[in-house]
Amino acid sequence: MSDAWQSYVRRIEELAARSGLAFHPVDFEAVPDSFMMEIAVYGLPVRMPHWSFGVRYIYQLIQRHMGHSRLFEVVFPGNPGHAYLAESNGLAENILVTAHVLGHADFARNNLLFRRCQAQVSEHIVEHAANHARQIQQAIETHGAQRVEAALDAALALEQHIDIDQQLRRPRYPEYLEDPRTHFDDDFRKRFAALEPASAASFVEVKKRAPVPPHPERDLLWFVANYAPEMESWERDIFLAVREESFYFYPVFASQIMNEGWASYWHARLLREADFIPQQAYLDAIKCHSDVVRPVAAEQQVALSINPYHLGFAMWEKIVESKGLAAARAIMEQDDDFGFVRNHLTRELADELGLFRFSARSDGQVKVLEPDLTALHEAILAPKYNFGAPIVSAAHVRNDGTLELTHDSATDARGLDLERSRKVLDYLQRVWRRPIVLTTVNQAGSALELTAP
Amino acid sequence: MAARAEKVYEKGMGQDGGKGETAGAAKWYELFSRGARDWLRHDEKVREAVRANLPEIIAGGDVINGGARTVRVPVRMLEHYHFRLRRPEESQGAGQGKAKPGDVFSAPGREQGQGEKGPGGRDEGEVQLLLEFKVDDIVDWLWEAMKLPNLKARVGPSEETDWTREGWDRHGARSRLDRRRSFKELVKRRGAPGATPTFIDEDLRYRQLARRRQPAVHAVVFFMLDVSGSMSDRDRKLAKTFFFWVVQGLRREYRSLETVFVAHTTEAWEFNEPDFFQVSGTGGTVASSGLAKVREIIDGRYNPGRCNLYLFYASDGDNSVSDAADARGALGVIAADACFTGYVEVSSGLSRQLATETGKLFAELQSAGCAAGSYALNDFEDVWGAVRHFFTAESSAPE
């Protein structure tokens, strides 16, 4: 950590605080590029071991060797937040990154989705994840690498299948159905019961066991951890550990455009307002900024993807310009990407940025579609629906322990990829240890059942 | 390693937020790469998968590159599966740039890696790996998987002793003093190396030698290939693949294994290994000429009483009828000296099941009580069957 940069950190923090950013303190640490890459691959500085991370690691290595990507920073929200900066950053890049990190810290502390998830996961996800990694290491020592890997195969395959509207530490379903006699909230029933107490009493004599699950359950990690008939307790712990990390990942995933845009808006603005930065460093930093928020289409005429930094940055500039900073802060606090894009990506801005909607055939032919703002919003947001995963819920557990899963193909508008789904069922079957049935639809739209084993 | 690294980190985190490591100490992440660890695990899984399907993968002769001690197997990266929607015929997306409604262009490869950005940002194209396997490992796995017996040597000392290094002792010849080890002992005794380390006798460690018995016999394998006009390229390749694995199997048993390659039409020649499989000839098939050549080489170079002889003969079986008596005679003489004689009939397309001239010769040999066997090799899938057949037949053959 260079002294020059260190002295700027304090001054940028002061400037940010004066500009209205409210953030928890952030610990900055400069780390080697190799470690930066690992953080990006694992999503957390220390995380459970699994071979699938090794696959991502190699893809990252290849990407980096081809010069496709360069990582400047990774920041973890919390109190204090942790920011890892690449050692290879120059002074100008570090100044920019510092301002960027403070934008993220402000976002993570004030955005409601982040706050809600942090209230569940606590503000120490980095430490929690390291703790999970240690527990899993212990499990490997006790139960053997193969069994732990089988549990992780299943748990990580379901990592997107959580229900963010539920508690992280969620109680089990009530054991029995609610007694209808307690439903005396409407006047008719009260009067009826008062008229003839005997017949009201004979309404339901025995307590009825509630079915499991009482309603289709999307929180698969939780459901399996709690209701698998023959799971070991350490396997349940692994499922719950993965689930906790998913609770941490969800807001990062679901507000990426807003969050990156907000951080980019603030690094640009703080840099502009920081009169203490030498001219050369400022120029270098601005150059770096324009690299980061550059639209993907800068070099090519047309790109079939959108850089979230660019889109978010442009949207925040527009919002602050037209509505003022106070309104922008209110939006930042209340929205996630869904609300943000649907409410604030206007026709004019979309035209200005040259955003368009296209349809691509599987043979690679791409056709640009007629402009339609609502449809454009959905095209941008579609990959983010339901944590980026199909909606699969646990529908029923049969008497013999067979798990019935259903895919909500009506909402997802098409069926599941059968080959992959079968493999996921295989993973899951090894911890559920009873048959699993999954219903989805085939190409023609008629119902289809997959089973394991 | 993993546990230790993470525990160190934990400690750091607990005490002072992960930032207060002492100045000189290396950070754990400089000493240990989780990415590399998990990558190795992935590799191991790939190897397990390859190993499970090994016979099918390597029977296709392409993986064998002449003479090398490794084979290369192309594999895809493993995928960790998630629930995913079926890839639609037509998908919608959002893009940016100068494009008007109605514009049509082609973007091959867009489908790949699109829409797969999960929490960890997985955005993966297709990458192929070329895994290299040691032939020795493969042979070990195969013998294990196919439960093939080990061979029995027929002649020569069944075991030979050899000296190998094994362990340390406090006494020994000066020349075998292990300085590094002794120094470690000194450090252990003193706690830490002082300014003037002085060795005492207790510190000194000498390398010890132990007798190790090894099956150490010499063997020579004759590979005889019919290269007459009726043998196609594919036939030769089949024979090559079979011969390759036979050599590997025999190498498991014999420390020094010599190979002799003989090709014949109506005449016979000796070749070196690379040329052997390239040879093609024209004309008829006279097995006795090849057998005579083998006999000549045996008499000239090898003493059947001192080394184990193997003969493997690959042909399409169309030996000329007039040669039957000569061939029978020559074969009988060689079989008497050899540990085993094997015949593979490579006749792609035609499955004649050994009902050929040459087939009959070997059948007679076998029924006469010699260690012999034959196998019809019609396709690459049969190679393993052939290898298994010969190695089981060899070990159960009469001595």
In this predicted structure, what is the pLDDT of residue B155?
55
Give the tens place of pLDDT for each residue, A161-208: 999 999 999 999 988 887 665 666 677 777 777 776 665 555 545 677
In this predicted structure, what is the pLDDT of residue B269?
85
Alpha-carbon distance A232 to nearest alpha carbon in chain B (angstroms): 22
Alpha carbon distance A59, A52 (integer Å): 11
For residues B306-324, average pLDDT: 81
The pair of three-digit structure tokens given for residue A411, joined into one six-digit string? 């909402």
Element containing residue A220 per DSSP (H, E): helix A220-227
Provide the sign of the torsion angle of the four alpha carbons A25, A27, A28, A33, taken in this order.
negative
B125 pLDDT above the threshold of 70: no
Q: How many CA atoms lie within 13 A of B75 on its CB side?
A: 23
B122 pLDDT above the threshold of 70: no
Q: Which of B264, B226, B259, B260 is nearest to B347 (CA)?
A: B226
Q: Where do runs of H (alpha helix) occur along A324-405? A: 325-334, 337-344, 347-353, 373-381
Give the mutation candidate from A28, A31, A50, A53 for the B interface (greatest B CB count, under 10 A).
Answer: A53
B55 pLDDT above the threshold of 80: no
Alpha carbon distance B132, B375 (integer Å): 30
Residues of A with Cβ-Cβ distance to B114 under 8 angstroms: 304-305
Residues of A with Cβ-Cβ distance to B87 under 8 angstroms: 362, 417
Instruction: Place B13 in a pLDDT band, splitting at 50, 70 and 90.
Output: very low
The answer to whether the CB atoms of A52 and B38 lie below 8 A apart is yes
Give the mutation candidate from A126, A132, A302, A423 for the B interface (greatest B CB count, under 10 A).
Answer: A302
The answer to whether the CB atoms of B106 and A366 lie below 8 A apart is yes
**pLDDT over 90 percentage in chain B:** 3
B229 pLDDT above the threshold of 60: yes
- Cα–Cα separations (whole angstroms), residue B222 to A16, B56, B247, B341: 84, 27, 10, 9
In this predicted structure, what is the pLDDT of residue A210?
86
Nearest residue of chain B to residue A297 (CA atoms): B97
Report whether B284 contacts B320 (CB < 8 A). Answer: yes
Which residue in B30, B83, B87 is closest to A421 by CB distance? B83
The answer to whether the CB atoms of B118 and A305 lie below 8 A apart is no
Give the tens place of pLDDT for each residue, A92-151: 889 999 999 999 999 999 999 999 999 988 888 899 999 999 999 999 999 999 999 999
In this predicted structure, what is the pLDDT of residue B374?
82
Q: What is the mean pLDDT of chain B?
A: 73
In this predicted structure, what is the pLDDT of residue B81?
94
Which residue in A29, A38, A296 is closest to B96 by CB distance? A296
In this predicted structure, what is the pLDDT of residue A182?
61
- Let me know if A433 is exposed, middle or buried by CB neighbors in 10 A (0-12, 13-18, 19+): middle
Tokens 């602050």 sit on residue: A320
For residues A293-308, average pLDDT: 77
Q: Which residues are paired to B163 by β-bridges?
A: B211
For residues A53-61, average pLDDT: 89
Alpha-carbon distance A342 to nearest alpha carbon in chain B (angstroms): 14
Report whether B270 contacts B220 (CB < 8 A). Answer: no
Alpha carbon distance B255, A299 (integer Å): 63
Alpha carbon distance B337, B303 (integer Å): 10
Residues of A with Cβ-Cβ distance to B102 under 8 angstroms: 367-368, 370
For residues A156-162, average pLDDT: 95
Instruction: Place A261 in a pLDDT band, splitting at 50, 70 and 90.
Output: very high
Q: For residue A274, give the 3-state DSSP assignment.
A: coil
A218 pLDDT above the threshold of 90: yes
Instruction: Place A347 in a pLDDT band, splitting at 50, 70 and 90.
Output: very high
Q: Where do runs of H (alpha helix) occur along B207-323? A: 233-253, 273-276, 287-301
Q: Which residues of B77-146 form beta strands (DSSP E)?
A: 90-97, 104-106, 128-134
Alpha-carbon distance A412 to nearest alpha carbon in chain B (angstroms): 8
The answer to whether the CB atoms of B127 and A305 lie below 8 A apart is no
pTM of structure: 0.72
Alpha carbon distance B42, B51 (integer Å): 14
User: In this structure, what are the phi and psi dihedrals at residue A214, rounded to the nearest 5 degrees?
Assistant: -70, -20
Give the mutation candidate from B34, B92, B103, B129 for the A interface (greatest A CB count, under 10 A).
Answer: B34
Alpha carbon distance B360, B343 (integer Å): 11
Which residue in B107, B111, B120 is closest to A56 by CB distance? B120
Residues of A with Cβ-Cβ distance to B97 under 8 angstroms: 295, 297, 300-303, 354, 356
The answer to whether the CB atoms of A41 and B89 lie below 8 A apart is no
Alpha carbon distance A104, A359 (integer Å): 34
Give the mutation candidate from A162, A305, A370 for the B interface (greatest B CB count, under 10 A).
Answer: A305
Q: For residue A317, which amino acid is it?
A: E
Put the strands of the sheet holding A365-368 in their side by side order: A302-303, B90-97, A355-361, A365-368, B104-106
Nearest residue of chain B to residue A250 (CA atoms): B119
Nearest residue of chain B to residue A61 (CA atoms): B35
- Cα–Cα separations (whole angstroms), residue B389 to A428, B137, B335: 41, 21, 18
Which residue in A160, A295, A382 is closest to B96 by CB distance? A295
Alpha carbon distance A211, A395 (integer Å): 10
For residues B74-83, average pLDDT: 86
Alpha carbon distance A219, A158 (integer Å): 9
The answer to whether the CB atoms of B101 and A370 lie below 8 A apart is yes
Give the mutation candidate from A315, A368, A377 for the B interface (greatest B CB count, under 10 A).
Answer: A368
Alpha-carbon distance B72 to nearest alpha carbon in chain A (angstroms): 20
In this predicted structure, what is the pLDDT of residue A159?
94
Q: Which residues are paired to B106 by β-bridges?
A: A365
Which residue in B78, B81, B102 is closest to A420 by CB distance? B81
Element containing residue B341 per DSSP (H, E): strand B340-346
In this predicted structure, what is the pLDDT of residue B377?
80
Please count the residue pairs, one from chain A and one from chain B, whose beta carbons lie less than 8 angstroms apart.
295
Report whether B219 contacts B304 (CB < 8 A). Answer: no
Give the tens place of pLDDT for each residue, A387-426: 999 999 999 999 999 999 999 999 988 899 999 999 999 9
Instruction: Place B333 in a pLDDT band, splitting at 50, 70 and 90.
Output: confident
Residues of A with Cβ-Cβ distance to B4 under 8 angstroms: none
The answer to whether the CB atoms of A53 and B100 lie below 8 A apart is no
Give the tens place of pLDDT for each residue, B375-387: 888 777 777 778 8
Element containing residue A292 per DSSP (H, E): helix A279-292
Give the tens place of pLDDT for each residue, A316-340: 999 999 999 999 999 999 999 999 9
